[in-house]
Every structure is written in structure tokens, then in C-alpha cells.
Amino acid sequence: MSTDPDWALYRTLLSVLDEGSLSAAARVLGLTQPTVGRHIDALEAALGVDLFIRSQRGLEPTDLAFSLHAQAQVMATAAAALLRTASGTAGEVSGIVRISTSDVVGVEHLPPVLTRLRRAHPALVIELALTDRVSDLLAREADIAIRMTEPTQGALLARRLPSIDLGFHAHSDYLAAAGTPASVGELPAYTLIGYDTDTRALRAMAATLPTLDRAGFAFRADSNLAQLGMIRAGFGIGFCQTAIACRDPALVRVLPEITLPLPLWIVMHEDLKTTTRYRVVFDALADGFSRSG
């Protein structure tokens, strides 16, 4: 290595690898395509290696380029966490807090909680990462996470929230046309909504309801929010949170004796508990879910 490359060059490399081309990376980074190309050239010169093969089809990453992806992602995560940490004022509820949670929790539960929080603390900025993946809080991929699984990493501050109950639901229009199943054994005769890939939720459902599997789903999506949308549209019968369904009078509980409770946890790195804005957001989220539960 002839020089110590600037972080911006690694950020460009990460974007090119993720987006698949110079032009796509340029759009994401807000740069011109020639500038992205110069960044790649400069990084190769600094490292003394070829990271891409130039061809008529564009840039093709080498094995070395792919091997740098994980480290570049760590750098990007650390840089983002640094900026969030520096964004606030000590002792005040100001600056950026990044929250990680699932799509359905982020869309269906958090908006009123975050709205009250923002009104109480107008200098607070919220970043919401919607993912079913467990974010690494120790690596500061997020500051606070709301999870359906109990945290196992050390150095985390965790609080158990009221469990979320799932049950079968359908739109009243669908049930008016198709009828209502009287037992679990009748479900395969109906239009069912479920998961696409083998997920934790699908395995939990299969353990409770062995007569159901992926092959029986007429609509398959790994997004709980997409499944909820299809239930609301009257596509068929699906599993969703009972608390969410209760808000919509058009949604009807099917087979109410079938309930799948999911645990809920709010988690953050214990090093953040003494920083005012993180503690305030953590407590507000915990209080919001406890009241709704």
C-alpha cells in the first residue's frame, strides 16, 4: 500500500459493489459518474491492486474487491454512528437516534409514539431502519432496536415488553363470499396468505399448526406489512397482529381460539444509557408499547 486511502474512496467502493455499476453508485452518492470512476482509480492506486476488471460491460469486481466489502461496510456503519453521536448536545434531548425494527412495527405501531416524542423534543431526529434482520447494536448498526427475539449479546440493555398476539384474520367481504372456516382442518380449502421463505415466524406457525405449510399459501411474502395489506384488501385469510386488526372494523377474527404470542423486546447498547437522548427515546418506546399492550 503506497498511501492511506481516504474513507470517501472506500464509501464509493462499497456503493459500486452494492449498486452494481458506476452510474448507479453515482446516483446513490450524489456524485457524477466520472467522479465515482476517479475514486475507484484512486483507491486502486493507493492500495496497489486491481479491484475491478474493465470490460465493454463495465466494471467487474475482482475477488479482492468482494473481500473488502465486509470491512468497508464496517467502516460505513462506524462513520454513520460517529455522525449520530456527534449530532447531539450533552444533557439535552437533541440529535439523531437510529431505531431498528420490523416493517409492520415501524408502520403500524411507531408513528404515534414517535410523533408524541418529537412534539415533546423538537430537536430530536429519528432514523428508522425497517428490517426483520437483527441489527448488531454492538457495532452500532442502530442505537435502539425493537425485536421479536430475546437478546443474547452481552453489553446490551434490554427490557421485555408486552407480547404481541397473532391470529387468523380476513376481510368481511372475503368471508361473505368464501364462508368462514370452522376448524383449522378446513383452512387448506380457503385462500391463504403466508410467508415465502423458511423464516422463524413460519417455523413457529408450522409447529403450532402442522396442517399449514408454504405450499398451501396462495399469496407468499416475507413482509408482514405486505401480508397485512393483502388481508385488508380481501385477498384471503392470513395471520396478523390482533391489536392491529382490532382497529379496522372490516377485519374479522377467524378461529379465535388460535393465538400465537410473540415476545417483544426493546434493546440498546448499555454504553448509551447515560446519554440523555438515547435514554429518553428508549423509555418513550417502552412506555408506548406497554400502554398499547
DSSP assignment letter at 92:
S
pLDDT at 11 over 60: yes
Torsion angle of alpha carbons 273, 277, 279, 282, nearest 10°? -120
**Considering only the top CATH level, what class is 163-262?**
alpha beta
Tell which wins on pLDDT, 198 or 75.
75
Tell which wins on pLDDT, 2 or 112.
112
Residue in 225, 232, 228 with CA at minimum distance from that of residue 251: 232
Give long-range contacts, CB 8 A cutoff, 24+ apart: 61-70: 61/16, 61/17, 65/13, 65/17, 66/17, 68/10, 68/13, 69/14, 69/17
Q: Locate all alpha helices (DSSP H) within the chain, ordered by sequence.
A: 7-19, 22-29, 33-47, 63-86, 103-108, 110-120, 172-178, 200-208, 224-233, 242-245, 276-292
Give 225-247 pLDDT, tens digit per residue.
999 999 999 999 999 999 999 99
Supply the DSSP string of 233-272, one letter for each residue: HTS-EEEEEHHHHTT-TTEEEESTT--EEEEEEEEEEGGG
Backbone angles phi, psi at 119, to 5 degrees: -65, -35
Taking a C-beta distance cutoff of 8 angstroms, is the pair 14, 73 a contact? yes
pLDDT at 293 over 60: no
Taking a C-beta distance cutoff of 8 angstroms, is the pair 111, 225 a contact? no
Give the pLDDT band of residue 140 (cuts 50, 70, 90): confident
The three grid cell numbers given for residue 261, joined into one nine-digit string: 404470542
Please compute the mean of the pLDDT values over residues 32-46 and round it to a whole number.
Answer: 91
Give 266-275 pLDDT, tens digit per residue.
999 888 888 8
Q: Which CATH number fits domain 85-162+263-292: 3.40.50.620, 3.40.50.1460, 1.10.10.10, 3.40.190.10?
A: 3.40.190.10
Q: Would 85-162+263-292 and 163-262 be classified into the same CATH topology?
A: yes
Distance CA 55, CA 19 (A): 17
Q: How is the chain split into domains, by residue range?
A: 7-79, 85-162+263-292, 163-262
pLDDT at 1: 46
Please compute the mean of the pLDDT values over residues 63-84 and round it to a whole number.
Answer: 84
Least confident piece of the model among 52-56, 105-109, 158-162, 180-184: 52-56
CATH 1.10.3720.10 fits 7-79, yes or no: no
The three grid cell numbers given for residue 246, joined into one nine-digit string: 382490532
The three grid cell numbers given for residue 169, joined into one nine-digit string: 384474520
Backbone angles phi, psi at 180, to 5 degrees: -120, 125
